[in-house]
Structure 1
Amino acid sequence: MSERRIDGPVVCVYHSADLDGHCSGAVMRHYFQDAPDVTMVGHDYGRPFPYDLLGPECTLVMADLCVEPFAEEMPKIADKVGRFIWIDHHKSAIEGHEAAGLELEGLRRIGSAACELTWEYLFGDDMPDAVRLLGRYDVWDHAADERVVPFQMGMWTLDTRPELRRPGHDPWARLLGAQGTHEADDAVRAIVADGEVVRRYVELQNRRVCETTAFETEFDGLRALACNTNGASSKLFESVYDERRHDIMVPFCWKIDAWSFSIFTTHDHIDCSEIAQRHGGGGHAKAAGFRSPNIPFILTGGA
């Protein structure tokens, strides 16, 4: 991190939709734990940005997301704060930063997860296992360590929102604060063990969901396998997805005031971030998302 000292209030904004974002927020909270005035904010795409928390004396640290439309909102945010540190790994956001001609402080790199980049930027080397395991899951490097998937699923059973202070019940205190100790190692092992149980249930439930609700349709000229369900990853479709018949996977659901769509692919020639951008969203080449008041494809028969 820059040697510039951080004075005054600090606002930490993290992506609230997944564990990569939660872990990024927890790393920020860990770094600023002794700062006198720190506000943790979970934020998601399509939601109103909390401009009322910003001010000229404020340092804003944002990780794992940007505010769209990028060329309008990100310079606006930068103008409202004394210092803006932005950490991200989404292809569409990094391209938006370059297109806007901005030079925001921070760290951006495709291929690393936001939580990994946040740790690297704030602390440097010696990354805790928890950060590395969550990071490898988020960038689909599941083969990096046999614990990647069960650790992710074990973390699903915990309340990981970093803005909540829960003395004695905060998983991040054990995973980050006790880094390199037996306590941290024991915490990872326990979460992995829980995750193995969760994985067996999730795989069974995913098969059941797809048997009854997955369907084939066409989306932006691509052969899509879709399913109306909440909180799904590409693993939802493992029992029915066929790379020869399907170009993309699209889980979707209604969230508060709009439809929320995720897009996944296993094909190298398809860029999910470009599809999402056409619909007001963004993301990675292999996984992206957007929100819309309407469903942009026909609801058809079963898969």
Structure 2
Amino acid sequence: MFRLFTHNDLDGVGCGILHRLAFKDDTYIRYNSVQGLDFQIERYLETDRLEDIVFITDLSVNTENAQRLEAYKVKGGKVTLIDHHKTALHFNEYDWAHVTVEYEDGRLTAATSLYYEHLVKHHYLKRSSSLDQFVELIRQWDTWEWEKNETLDAKRLNDLFFMLSIDEFEERMVKRLQESDTFSFDEFEEKILDMEETKKERYIRRKRRELVQTFIDDYCVGIVHAESYHSELGNELGKDSPHLDYIAILNVGGKKISFRTIHETIDVSAVANQFGGGGHAKAAGCQLTEQAYKFYIEKPFTIESLRVDALKNQHNLKGNQAGSLYADQKGSLFFIYPRTDQSWTLEQNDSNKQAFSTFEEAERHIKRNYSAWLVRDDEYLRFLAENPNHSKRSK
């Protein structure tokens, strides 16, 4: 029997779909959480079934199970581990493990794309246009390349995955990939995906108003409690508040934390690793351990939510040559205006002047250190009327 132990997200289930297509009914597939894999592997190895062919994809085992798998292989067992996470690279010391983070052309890998190539190479599966398209959508979603490439179908495929049970999603995809030369969504799926997009946008807007900000170690972190849409939520909050180094999304019921960042210089897999988790540089996760609880829930509990920048202003605009006005929870006002030498001045409460080379640097400073927000036009115009010298300075 061809056994597969894989992750229970889209990338892991993509491997399951390929496995089903390759081995038909002679299969056993177990979808696991990150924490659940080791229990399943240990229990399986106790059966000592040397006749099976075992694959592990999109997840890595602990040290004890790595040693057990090595002993299983020495006894004649057939096992292959395929992963794409940087935190799993050390498994390449075993001849049964294949961990590749990046292709030679610079594209990031996904477990589904690596497993597809493995199955094709060993003649378990025949390449097709529909499979190529399906695998590439999953790869772009999992590596977040879909946004840069504007491959919206990759995002919609993940949306569909979360709207269906794993069994139903797997059944739909297997049938479609067997019957069609190209991969596309059917009419029913298109309709429910459009409805889901509207629902998701409302959810993200609501969660934006619940975001709190604090410093954890040297990072300026945005923290929000949410049970749904973690990838999209983390990405949108990160783009909306680029002064934050990363976003921590807490699911207290599931006792999990997801970490997301939009910055190339931040590696959230290293953050997750501190709490026994892992993942990618821009997307990672871990269990809500006792230590993580103190950092992300207990200490920030009393912090006020971040105020949203005024959205419909016509006068108080970011980078305005007439100056931009911000406020914080303590009632302090921050006025940023250009100088004649093309630098920018930041005044706090009409004093305490600081110079910055760009407007963005000045704004980043007050947002990180004071959680300030862009005020509405009415407050801005009243401020200029009461402080005419600011208008003169900014000209």
Fold match, TM over 0.5? yes
> Cα offset for 1:193?
4.5
Question: CA separation in 2, counterparts of 1:199 and 1:159?
Answer: 18
> Cα offset for 1:186?
5.5
Shift in CA distance, 179/61, structure 1 to aligned 2, threshold 3 Å: farther
Shift in CA distance, 210/64, structure 1 to aligned 2, threshold 3 Å: same
Residues 1:147 and 2:137 aligned together: no
Corresponding residue number in structure 1 for 2:265: 269
Question: CA separation in 2, counterparts of 1:292 and 1:132?
Answer: 32
> Cα offset for 1:132?
2.0
Larger radius of gyration: 2
Gaps (5+ residues) in structure 1? 1-8
Question: CA separation in 2, counterparts of 1:270 and 1:185?
Answer: 35
CA contact (8 A) 2:235 2:262 kept: no
Deviations 1:226-280 (CA, angstroms, capped at 9, x unpaired): 1112244242145543454200011011355xx2111111111111111111211
CA contact (8 A) 2:234 2:261 kept: no
Corresponding residue number in structure 1 for 2:138: 134
| Further displaced range: 47-56 or 245-254 | 47-56
Alignment of 1:69-218 (within 5 A): 71-80=63-72, 82-94=77-89, 96-98=90-92, 101-106=93-98, 108-110=100-102, 111-123=108-120, 125-126=127-128, 127-142=131-146, 143=149, 145-161=151-167, 170-180=171-181, 184-185=183-184, 187=186, 190-211=188-209, 213-218=210-215
Alignment of 1:213-292 (within 5 A): 213-237=210-234, 240-241=237-238, 242-255=240-253, 259-292=255-288
Gaps (5+ residues) in structure 2? 103-107, 122-126, 307-395
Q: Higher relative contact order at CA 8 Å, sep ≥6: structure 1 or structure 2?
A: 1
CA contact (8 A) 1:263 1:287 kept: yes
Q: Could you list the structure 1 runs, at least 4 aligned residues long, displaced by more than 4 angstroms after superposition.
A: 237-240
Corresponding residue number in structure 2 for 1:4: none
Which amino acid in 1 is paired with 2:17? A
Corresponding residue number in structure 2 for 1:40: 29
CA contact (8 A) 2:110 2:142 kept: yes
> Cα offset for 1:225?
0.7
CA contact (8 A) 1:155 1:195 kept: no
Question: CA separation in 2, counterparts of 1:129 and 1:208?
Answer: 34
CA contact (8 A) 2:88 2:99 kept: no
Question: CA separation in 2, counterparts of 1:265 and 1:102?
Answer: 32
Which amino acid in 1 is paired with 2:233? L
CA contact (8 A) 1:13 1:41 kept: yes
Shift in CA distance, 34/238, structure 1 to aligned 2, threshold 3 Å: closer
Which amino acid in 1 is paired with 2:275? H
Deviations 1:55-94 (CA, angstroms, capped at 9, x unpaired): 23332101111123xx433232332350111111111112
> Cα offset for 1:116?
1.6
TM-score, normalised with respect to structure 2? 0.63
CA contact (8 A) 2:234 2:259 kept: no
Which amino acid in 2 is paired with 1:282? G
Shift in CA distance, 191/136, structure 1 to aligned 2, threshold 3 Å: farther
Corresponding residue number in structure 2 for 1:21: 12
Residues 1:302 and 2:305 aligned together: yes
Query: Identical aligned pairs, as a percentage?
Result: 22
* Structure with the higher fraction of residues in helix conformation: 2
RMSD value, Cα: 2.5
